[in-house]
Amino acid sequence: MELDLLDHHEAIFIGGAWVPSASRERIDVVSPWSEEVIASVPSGSRADVDQAVSAAQHALTTGPWPAMALEARVAIIRRLREQLVQHSETLARLITEEMGCPIAQSRAIQVVNPVRILDGYLEAVETYPFRELRHTVAGHALVTRAPVGVVAAVVPWNVPASLTIQKVVPALLTGCTVVLKPAPETPLDAYLLAHMLREAGLPDGVVNIVPADRDVSEYLVTHPGVAKVTFTGSSAAGKRIASLCGQDLRRVTLELGGKSAAVILDDADLDLVTSSLRMGSFRNNGQVCSLKTRLVVPEHKQAELVDRLNGMIDTMAIGDPHDEHTEIGPLVSSRQRERVEGYIAAGRAGNGRLVRGGGRPAGLDRGWFVEPTVFVDVDPDETIAQEEIFGPVVAVIPYRTEQEAVDIANNSTYGLNGSVFTTDIERGLRVASRIQTGTVELNGSPAGFGVPMGGVKSSGLGREFGPEGLEPFVELKSIGVSAEVADRLQTPAL
């Protein structure tokens, strides 16, 4: 499959077919590099959402999907994996075109992580207890886990394929059906996913795709035919969705923003720190919610860390995201660049010092670029240390004691990710346990895709990945039985 998806599409994917949208509105896909329209898709309407939810409900209650055994669903997901691997280069190039991720990172991260996420869910589902017997002194019960129903999956633009797989695969493995709403900035990879799902043999209507803007997205997450919403995006949007879902007691999982701290203890290996922060703070042009954008460093080591950061950034090529050597590409949109530049202006007006960047790269007259930017001596309460910027901007915050470092890390409304750097592993684990966040990486080691991931405070509700990532898509039911029946049910098949 070539990059023929860079086209003006006239249809949306509903009920296993490409059907005309009920809307005449269009969504233009604009290249962050050339600033030109490279494709367009229909902007879905409420009528399109109604049709997609109806198709998902039909697939949930009729046809082969509700009667399909777990092994058959697993087989489809394995064929989807084959499709992801087969079309990885197409997908990498498509994401680079859509949102400006440097092609080397698209190949190494944007299309590799979806496969790893899929593999993690396949491993988790092998031992997942869809049926289990519980024996207590008060009685006996068969506990079952059935699909929760139609799932609305709403994904952002920054890592679209990974986040789509992160939501669609656990829903499918548990027997749910899906209406996928891709971000307006990056709808094209979802069109490729539709082709791959058809090749994998997914029954009609099990996954439906409706590109749309905010108002139609709100209609989807409040649709009476939707039983579950899974969303990744900003904390402001997540709070709005939680409020809307709360009115109907609709189940919701939210992975939201972050302002993650890298706590650098006084015995840390600064070579390891800087090499980890290369991707840990600046990958995907700074547009990842788990990036470490607050660097909490001992006061007496701040200058040394900044020297090493400058040396590292000097080696990061800025420019054309299609170039194999580029490490910093453009931001996704003009609006996003304006947002980042606004935060840089706030940083200049604060008490911290700008020691690097702060503007647009010289010699790049097109593309929505912002230089990698470093502020030092930042007060932990300043705007650039408190609010998510979503660009290549870091704040270096000095501290004097370990307790102060922990306090700074926890001085945030967010709690999605974080790091602790130290050569004393026991000390590192002790500090990590005190940081209020869903994930902590010790010396830059990732937690992987088989363990629960999610945030605390304003960084979200619920968890994804591992068996915990399957739980939000099932409905528990307890069936009381006699001891005699329980004994009969106690078979290896359970």
Query: Which residues have a catalytic role annotated?
Result: 255, 289
Dihedral sign, Cα of residue 302, residue 305, residue 311, residue 317: negative
Question: Residues 6 or more apart from 334 whose CB is under 8 A from it?
Answer: 35, 368
Q: By the 8 A CB rule, do 287 and 324 touch? A: no
- Token pair belonging to 425: 């592993």
Residues 6+ apart with CB under 8 A from 443: 269, 272, 276, 419, 420, 421, 422, 428
What are 442's strand-pairing partners?
420
- The answer to whether residues 172 and 73 touch, using CB atoms and an 8 Å cutoff, is yes
Each as own residue / partner, the long-range contacts of residues 34-37 (CB below 8 Å, 24 or more positions apart, any chain) are 34/366, 34/367, 35/334, 35/366, 35/367, 35/368
The one-letter code for the residue type at 489 is L
Residue from 250, 212, 244 nearest 50 by CA: 212
Q: What is the DSSP letter of 291?
A: -
Residue 72 structure tokens: 């058959």
All residues at 6 or more sequence positions from 312 whose CB lies less than 8 Å from its CB, including other chains? 274, 275, 277, 278
The rounded distance, in Å, linking the Cα atoms of 292 and 252 is: 26
- The CA distance from 424 to 209, in Å, is 49
β-strands 353-356, 373-376: how paired? antiparallel
Helix or strand or coil: residue 477? strand
Give the separation between CA 364 and CA 141, rounded to whole angstroms: 67
The total number of residues shown for the chain amounts to 494
Distance spanning both ends of the chain, measured CA to CA: 42
Rounded to whole angstroms, the Cα distance separating 164 from 153 reads 8
SS3 content of the chain, % helix, strand, coil (to 5): 40, 20, 35
Q: How many helices (H) and strands (E) does the chain have?
A: 16, 22
